[in-house]
Amino acid sequence: MLGRVNHVAIAVPDLTAATAAYRDMLGATVSAPQALPQHGVTVVFVELPNTKIELLEPLGAGSPIAAFLGKNPSGGMHHICYEVTDILAARDHLVQRGARVLGNGEPKIGAHGKPVLFLHPKDFFGTLVELEQV
């Protein structure tokens, strides 16, 4: 069911500083910031040869990233995203086996313009899992 790792997401308190660190200190290619109001975040993608790093900054006080940074003020790993070929079949398979899908259980459109959904971290050993249809 799982495909490759699409990205690892890191919540950051200052997207501009985080972007500069990845670009200037590590020499990475970094995308322009993209606001995603439906997810409450602004994102930047760090392009790597084998995957991406997604840097997340809260977009508004109600952002889930704001809550995460409230507990982790310096930032930290937020989630890992795996690719799936059929997000609805993957969701149904996981729900039948006891996994909990966050939100209303329906996929939303993510930063790459593709359907995504999130799985409860308590079902995956403390790790928030995102699935993205490719």
Please identify every residue annotated as catalytic: 130
DSSP of 9-48 = EEE-S-HHHHHHIIIIIT--EEPPPEEETTTTEEEEEEE-
What residue type is 130 in one-letter code? E
Of the candidates 79, 86, 74, which has an alpha carbon nearest to the alpha carbon of residue 41? 79
